Amino acid sequence: MSNSVLSTEHLDKTKLAELDKYIAGLENKQEAIIHILHRGQEIFGYLPKELQLYIARKADLPAAKVNGIVSFYSFFSQEPSGQYQISICLGTACFVKGADAIIKEFRSQLDMADKRVSDDGRFSIRDVRCVGACGLAPVVVINEKIYGHVGTDDVAGIIEQYRGAEG
Ligand code: FES
């Protein structure tokens, strides 16, 4: 990640103030970098490169290191998500129980062949590694809610719960 072409001045000031407040309360900002990134993602919804740079400066870490952390962990997103983030576990236990068919079914039902976010911005799909609920494989997480033992037949019903939901 190059620092020179990035500017943090377009980031939302109110959200930055909230993040600053969180960071100010931390004793060791470098050790807490994962927590800071989590908080940043909670506040902004995702971690654009500009925000990574801002956080890197605040924590006095190289931007490339922060970007490496964000890229490594699948729970961090560098792109905006839909209102409902559908995370499909492709860890080993879920994969052997057919998670790849589940992801295809979500993509087909939502008409999102290669798209990360649906045209109306309501849904985004991503695959994640083991979410620690292997006993429930295959597992789908939508925002904070976990669905276990999901079969392709369940996908339409799950989507319906969110299609009908108010924004
Ligand atoms: S592999 Fe999917 S929850 Fe562990």
> Rounded CA gap, 128 and 77, in Å?
11
User: Is 143 close to ligand 1, i.e. is its CB under 6 Å away?
Assistant: no
The identity of residue 38, as a single letter, is H
What dotted CATH number matches 84-163?
A: 3.40.30.10
Q: How confident is the model at residue 3 (pLDDT cuts 50, 70, 90)?
A: very low
Q: Is 46 helix (H, G, I), strand (E, B) or coil?
A: coil
Does the C-beta of 63 come closer than 6 Å to ligand 1?
A: no
128 CB-near residues (< 8 Å, 6+ apart): 74, 75, 87, 88, 89, 90, 91, 141
pTM, rounded to two decimals: 0.66
| 146 C-beta closer than 6 A to ligand 1 | no
pLDDT digits 0-9 by tens, 43-76: 998 999 999 999 999 999 999 999 999 999 877 8
Where are the domains positioned within the chain?
13-72, 84-163
Which of 75, 87, 89 is the best mutation target for the ligand 1 pocket, counting ligand atoms within 8 Å of the beta carbon and taking the most?
89
CA distance 100 to 152: 10
Q: Is the CB of 134 under 6 A from ligand 1?
A: yes
Give the pLDDT band of residue 111 (cuts 50, 70, 90): very high
**CA–CA separation, 10 and 18 (whole Å):** 16
